[in-house]
């Protein structure tokens, strides 16, 4: 109602008033708003301050990026942030200003920036041995593989290490094709599985990814409870999987690949009942089920260690990366001994996958999650934050949906709730204003209008309050 009244008031403004507003120094208004907001909000106390920074300025770095790095690289914010140090759930810029990192957790950091246990594991292993191939013996890779397998259900116990989630998903798809002797892969519209040719083909996000056509890849209707045609009825969406099997393939498929919660796609939880139905259909067609846990895995959703567990299914292959190494380039594919056997037909080898430094970091991450009870924290703090964000939805018409689990939450902005019109410009504005207040959040979704809130798992209730208060203040001043 408030938004509707605001629109009507805007329409009634006289031309003289509009001309006066356009001539007013907007920069001064923006700076005044930011300074007043900063005075009203204060980050939770933190017992660390970085030493003075003496490196190149943000402008200098940006100039080098433009000259020497790929023109495809982009950055958040009108004035890009020059991050020079990180500690736990906070980041610091070149001037020493502290920011609450409510997005980096999904990017790589699970336990918190520069966690001392993980850093020590990396340093100690680097001092002893930086790299050796699996042609020789080293305990680091075997110890981590054992610990990782212990976290997975059923007979998922054979681990292949890679350097990224893209590599992991490429390998999983190849394994499925070799094992089944079929070529057809089924994936969801709005999914994201990586940056290589095969994974881009399975991604189906040509609006912001290259539309790389891969033979044998079929995209099915996305079981999106908010925007989908069947609401929260997962079994109705799954009928499209069966239709693809019946009419788009020979009746057999190699694999079905899916995230449990779509990350880049806008923190979309799959409709209840969808994965059990889809898995059943694919298995009857002789296919394997691949769970992409690159973003939802490693205790992030709180209620379970892996996203697929919340759907009551057990996949044939699980892929993982990002938070697995807390910032170290590391990925993995886990499957059963029977399926893993297919790679012995030829030689499969990854030069750096499973090197001692990365696997030592991965093992340290698992130990920190257990020692600091980060899964329980993700559930407790994530549930609390979701309540705060849902309260904002009740307060502001601009918020169309709040969703997700644990510390993997999404807030979708819409210009019209009934039509669900994506509020793209407003999303960018709120992100910029929240940065000025000291909060960093991500952006995603098919239309680029969803806030991705995925902080390190050491996030606290005080941090959650600060984030919600910053969003509340920003929205109140729009």
- What is 269-309 written as a DSSP string? EPPTTHHHHHHHHHHHTT-EEEEE-TTTTTTTTSS-SSGGG
CB 317 within 8 A of CB 170: no
> What pLDDT score does 201 carry?
74
Domains of the chain, start order: 23-96+374-476 (3.90.1150.10), 116-371 (3.40.640.10)
Compute, in degrees rounded to 10, the torsion defined by CA atoms 387, 388, 389, 390: 50
Which among 366, 377, 367, 390 is positioned nearest to 456, based on CA atoms? Answer: 377
CB 143 within 8 A of CB 363: yes
Residue 7 has pLDDT above 90, yes or no: no
| Average pLDDT score over the chain | 90
> What pLDDT score does 465 carry?
98
**What value does the mean pLDDT take over residues 449-471?**
98
Higher-pLDDT residue of 22 and 446 is 446
For residue 179 the two structure tokens come to 């094992």
CB 159 within 8 A of CB 332: yes
Secondary structure letter of residue 130 according to DSSP:
S
pLDDT tens digits for 418-454? 999 999 999 999 999 999 999 999 999 999 999 999 9
> What pLDDT score does 478 carry?
87
Mutual angle of helices 116-128 and 356-371, in 10-degree steps: 150
**What value does the mean pLDDT take over residues 170-197?**
93
Beta strand 185-188 pairing with 158-162:
unpaired
Sign of the torsion formed by the C-alpha atoms of 78, 84, 86 and 90: negative
Which among 81, 120, 122 is positioned nearest to 103, based on CA atoms? Answer: 81
For residue 211, name the pLDDT band (cuts at 50, 70, 90). low
- With H, G, I as helix, E, B as strand and everything else as coil, classify residue 200: helix
> What pLDDT score does 107 carry?
67
> What pLDDT score does 6 carry?
42
In this prediction the pTM is 0.89
Residue with tokens 């402008």: 59
**What value does the mean pLDDT take over residues 117-141?**
92
> What pLDDT score does 204 carry?
64
CB 202 within 8 A of CB 193: yes
pLDDT tens digits for 378-394? 999 999 999 999 999 99
For residue 110, name the pLDDT band (cuts at 50, 70, 90). confident
Cα of 54 vs its chain's centroid, Å? 32
State the alpha helices, DSSP H only, in 158-314: 165-180, 197-203, 234-247, 274-284
- With H, G, I as helix, E, B as strand and everything else as coil, classify residue 120: helix
pLDDT tens digits for 149-177? 999 999 999 999 999 999 999 999 999 99
> What pLDDT score does 166 carry?
93
Q: Left if phi > 0, otherwise alpha if psi is -120 to 50, otherwise beta: which for 121?
A: alpha
């Amino acid at each position: 109602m408030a938004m509707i009244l605001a629109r009507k008031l805007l329409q009634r403004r006289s031309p003289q008033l509009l001309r006066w507003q356009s001539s007013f120094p907007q920069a001064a208004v923006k700076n005044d708003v930011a300074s007043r907001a900063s005075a009203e909000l204060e980050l939770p106390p933190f017992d660390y301050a970085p030493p003075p920074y003496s490196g190149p300025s943000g402008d200098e770095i940006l100039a080098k990026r433009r000259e020497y790095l790929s023109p495809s690289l982009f950055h958040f914010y009108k004035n890009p942030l020059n991050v020079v140090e990180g500690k736990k759930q906070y980041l610091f810029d070149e001037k020493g200003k502290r920011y609450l990192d409510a997005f980096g957790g999904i990017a790589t950091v699970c336990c918190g920036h520069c966690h001392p246990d993980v850093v020590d594991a990396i340093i100690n292993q680097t001092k002893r041995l930086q790299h050796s191939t699996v042609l020789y013996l080293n305990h680091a890779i075997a110890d981590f593989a054992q610990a990782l397998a212990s976290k997975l259900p059923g007979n998922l116990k054979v681990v292949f290490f890679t350097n990224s989630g893209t590599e992991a998903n490429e390998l999983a798809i190849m394994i499925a094709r070799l094992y089944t002797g079929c070529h057809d892969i089924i994936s969801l519209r709005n999914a994201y599985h990586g940056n290589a040719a095969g994974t881009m083909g399975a991604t189906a996000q040509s609006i912001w990814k290259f539309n790389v056509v891969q033979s044998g890849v079929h995209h099915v209707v996305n079981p999106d409870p908010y925007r989908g045609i069947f609401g929260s009825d997962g079994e109705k969406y799954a009928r499209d999987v069966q239709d693809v099997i019946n009419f788009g393939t020979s009746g057999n498929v190699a694999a079905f690949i899916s995230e449990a919660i779509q990350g880049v796609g806008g923190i979309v939880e799959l409709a209840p009942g969808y994965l059990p139905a889809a898995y059943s259909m694919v298995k009857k067609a002789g296919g394997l089920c691949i769970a992409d846990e690159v973003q939802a895995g490693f205790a992030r959703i709180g209620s379970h260690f892996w996203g697929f567990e919340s759907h009551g299914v057990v996949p044939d292959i699980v892929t993982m990366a990002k938070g697995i190494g807390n910032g170290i380039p590391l990925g993995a594919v886990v499957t059963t001994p029977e399926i893993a056997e297919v790679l012995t037909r030829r030689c499969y080898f990854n030069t750096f996958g499973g090197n001692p430094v990365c696997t030592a970091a991965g093992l340290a991450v698992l130990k920190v999650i257990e020692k600091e009870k980060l899964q329980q924290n993700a559930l407790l703090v994530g549930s609390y934050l979701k309540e705060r964000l849902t309260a904002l939805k009740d307060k502001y018409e601009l918020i169309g949906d709040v969703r997700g689990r644990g510390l993997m939450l999404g807030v979708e902005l819409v210009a019209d709730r009934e039509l669900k019109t994506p509020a793209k410009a407003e999303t960018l504005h709120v992100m910029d204003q929240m940065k000025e207040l000291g909060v960093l959040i991500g952006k995603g979704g098919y239309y680029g209008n969803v806030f991705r809130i995925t902080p390190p798992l050491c996030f606290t209730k005080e941090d959650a309050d600060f984030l919600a208060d910053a969003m509340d203040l920003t929205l109140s001043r729009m």
